[in-house]
């Protein structure tokens, strides 16, 4: 598998003059997805956890319902093609819809589709309650898990927590890819905690919200902002959506009852 970090030379301008320097940058590379021998699409991604990304993408698109549907997944020797074989025949979906993600993601799911819960067992909607202080603690744990970011910057990180620790994390130049990688790692490792809190450095668009819901998440926390459509979707799906999370502050956009005994004024969840 290619190295996810690359050294580059650059000219640094400071105090009126240029100086040569060297830095580590995150790798972005095209990796094709082939399903049952047929080409589907090309990911623009960071070359780490690629097999998990392929499996997670197929799950999030509703192509598979469990890891048992996958016969084999392997990365070719050149590192530029993921070959997935399933137990059944499947037609290639229409990936004409471009997402709002960085690196130009695509999806076959349109708004309003994929409303059913995922095949993995889910806890009751209202059984998860956490303290506001826990959100800040989990954000700190998210930052601690950013291995590639510490080396190069320029990369998104997402992580799944059970409210006590980070169970699995994934990094990629594309925020959508981090959710696919995270889902794939959960499928491959059979990681389905009863309490599912998803943390990410990326913006929450409608597609990101769909992927989180597919994973059975009840609380979704972002370092940055949600979109208007993701807020509406989170209300309908019973998902607590938190944005601009820092150690001591954050915004709750939907279903604050999981964090507060008394619901703050001005938040409608219907």
Domain spans, the chain: 29-107, 132-258
- Residue 241 vs residues 2, 41, 238, 261: alpha-carbon distances, Å: 35, 30, 9, 17
Q: Which of 45, 76, 102, 186 is catalytic?
A: 102
Whether 29-107 shares its CATH topology with 132-258 is answered no
Residue 18 clears pLDDT 70, i.e. is over it: yes
C-alpha 163/C-alpha 261 separation (Å) is 18
Instruction: Out of 33-47, 123-137, 162-176, pick the least confident.
Output: 123-137
| Whole-number Å distance between alpha carbons of 123 and 193 | 9
- pLDDT band, very low/low/confident/very high, at 122 (cuts 50, 70, 90): very low
Is 102 a residue of the active site? yes
User: Per-residue pLDDT for 156 more than 70?
Assistant: yes
The CATH number corresponding to 29-107 among 3.10.20.10, 3.40.50.2300, 3.40.50.300, 3.40.190.10 equals: 3.10.20.10
Question: pTM here?
Answer: 0.87
Say if residue 183's pLDDT is above 80: yes
Alpha carbon distance 213, 249 (integer Å): 24
Please compute the mean of the pLDDT values over residues 122-133 and round it to a whole number: 72
Q: Is the pLDDT at 244 greater than 50, yes or no?
A: yes
Cα distance between residue 46 and residue 173, in whole Å: 6
CATH number, span 132-258: 3.40.140.10
> Is the pLDDT confidence value at 118 over 60?
no
């Amino acid at each position: 598998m290619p190295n996810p970090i690359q050294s580059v030379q650059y000219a640094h301008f400071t105090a009126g003059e240029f100086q040569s320097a060297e830095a580590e940058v995150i790798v972005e590379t095209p990796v094709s997805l082939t399903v049952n021998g047929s080409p589907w699409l090309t990911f623009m991604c960071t070359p780490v956890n690629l097999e998990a990304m392929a499996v997670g993408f197929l799950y999030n698109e509703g192509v598979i319902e469990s890891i048992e549907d996958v016969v084999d997944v392997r990365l070719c020797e050149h590192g530029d093609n993921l070959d997935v074989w399933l137990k059944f025949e499947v037609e290639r979906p229409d990936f004409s819809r471009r997402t709002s993600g960085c690196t130009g993601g695509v999806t076959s799911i349109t708004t309003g589709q994929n409303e059913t819960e995922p095949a993995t067992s889910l806890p009751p909607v209202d059984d998860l309650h956490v303290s506001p202080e826990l959100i800040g603690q989990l954000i700190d744990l998210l930052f601690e898990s950013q291995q590639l970011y510490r080396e190069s910057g320029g990369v998104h990180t997402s992580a799944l927590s059970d409210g006590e620790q980070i169970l699995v994390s994934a990094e990629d130049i594309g925020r959508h890819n981090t959710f696919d990688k995270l889902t794939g790692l959960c499928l491959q490792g059979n990681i389905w905690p009863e309490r599912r809190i998803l943390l990410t450095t990326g913006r929450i668009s409608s597609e990101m919200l769909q992927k989180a819901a597919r994973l059975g998440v009840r609380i979704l926390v972002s370092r940055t902002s949600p979109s208007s459509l993701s807020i509406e979707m989170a209300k309908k799906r019973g998902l607590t959506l938190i944005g601009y999370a820092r150690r001591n502050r954050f915004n709750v956009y939907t279903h604050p009852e999981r964090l507060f005994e008394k619901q703050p004024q001005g938040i409608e969840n219907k």
